[in-house]
Amino acid sequence: MNIIFENIVPKENLYPFTSIRNIEDIRVGILTIKEKWEIFANKFSANEIIVSSNLIPSAEYAEALIYKKNLNGIEIRSIEFPWDIFKHNDWALRQDFKLLTDGRISQPISSTNQIISPENIFIEEGATVEYCTINASTGPVYIGKNALIMEGALIRGPFALCENSVVKMGAKIYGATTIGPNCIAGGEIKNSVLFANSNKAHDGYLGDSVLGEWCNLGAGTSNSNLKNTANNISVWNNAGNNFVSVGNKCGLLMGDYSRAAINTSFNTGTLVGICCNIFGSKLPLKFVPDFTWGDEIYIFEKCLKDINNWKQLKGQTITETEKINLLNIYNQKLK
C-alpha cells in the first residue's frame, strides 16, 4: 500500500499547524487525514493512490477514487486554512465514527450514566465512563481505548475522546469537539479540536478553537469566539502576511508546544505560533509569533528544556528530531 499525498494548498496556509507536521498529519474528526486514508486504502485494497493532503475523505469518496468511479456529486470537505479544522469538525466526526465503528460492537454502557440515544455511542475496550450525562441525539459520541470520563461530566455529541485521554469532573463539552490522544479536558469546551498530548484541564471556556500538540492552558484561561458587535473576525494569515476575515465565529488557534498562564484571556481570532509561553497582565496580541516568551524571544536552550519538562509529565522526552526541526524554525525566525 502506497499513499502519495500532494500539497494542493501551500503548507504555510495552515500555519501554525504545519510548522512541524505535514498537512495530512492534521487531526480533524477523530483521526488524522493520513490515518483516514490508511484505513480506506486497506479497506478497498488499494496498491497505490494519489490524494490531496488537505482533503477530508468520506467512505463514498474514497471508494470512488480508489475504484476510479465518477466523483461528481459526492460530498467532500477540505481544509485550506487553520480555522477550517473546527469548521469541518462536525462533518469529519460523523464520517470517522462510521468508519471506526462499522460492524463492531461497543463495550457496554454503565447503568450509572444518564444517556440519550445510546445507539449513537461507542466505547472502546478499557475506557471508563461512570456517573456522566451523555446526549448522543445531536451526534455520535466516541470514547477511545483506555480513556476516562470522570463523574459529573456533561457531554453533547458529536464528540470524540481519543485513546488514553481524560475528561475531568464536572466538565461541560458541546459538539463538535475532539479531544485527541493523551489529552486532558475540563471546564467548558465547544466545537474545538485538541490534536494530542495537550491540556485544557481547568475551568474556563474554549470555543471554536484548535490546539496543537503539547499545549497547555492554565486554570481560568478563556477565549472569546464572538465579537461584542457580532461582526466578522479577522485572523492572521502567515502565507499572506496579513489579517483575513474568517466569519463571525473563531476563537484560539494555538501552535504546538505553546502554553498560557492562569487566567489568560484570548481575544476573538487569536493565532499563537509554536513554542510560545504566554503570561503577564496584558491581553495577548491577536498574533503571537513563534518562540515568544512574554514580551521577549524565547531563549532556544530554555525552550527545549521547558518542552522536555512538559513531555516528562506524560512519560515522554524530547527527541533529537524535534530538536533539529525546532532549531531550523528558530534560526529562520532570527534571520
The pLDDT value recorded for residue 145 is 98
Count of other CB atoms within 10 angstroms of residue 221: 24
Residue 1 has pLDDT above 80, yes or no: no
Residue 47 has pLDDT above 90, yes or no: no
| pLDDT digits 0-9 by tens, 152-189 | 999 999 999 999 999 999 999 998 999 999 999 999 99
Angle at the Cα of 218 (from 216 to 220), degrees rounded to 5? 135
Closest to 182 measured CA to CA, from 148, 209, 219, 220? 148
Report how far Cα 277 is from the mean position of its chain's Cα atoms.
19
83: Cβ contacts below 8 Å, ≥ 6 apart = 210, 235, 246, 247, 250, 253
> Contact 82/100 with Cβ under 8 angstroms?
no
Q: Taking residues 221-243, what's their average pLDDT?
A: 94
Residue 50 has pLDDT above 80, yes or no: yes
Q: What is the dihedral of CA 319, 322, 323, 329, to 10 degrees?
A: 180
The pLDDT value recorded for residue 45 is 85
4 burial via Cβ count (<10 Å: 0-12, 13-18, 19+): exposed
Share of the chain above pLDDT 90, in %: 93
Per-residue pLDDT band for 215 (boundaries 50, 70, 90) equals: very high
User: Whose grid coordinates read 440519550?
Assistant: 116
Ranges of each domain in the chain: 2-101
The pLDDT value recorded for residue 46 is 78
Q: Looking at beta carbons, which pairs linking 306-312 to residues 24 or more positions away fall under 8 Å?
A: 306/277, 307/214, 307/257, 307/275, 310/214, 310/216, 310/257, 310/259, 311/197, 311/214
The pLDDT value recorded for residue 335 is 67
Residue 334 has pLDDT above 90, yes or no: no
| pLDDT digits 0-9 by tens, 109-141 | 999 999 999 999 999 999 999 999 999 999 999
Q: Taking residues 38-56, what's their average pLDDT?
A: 92
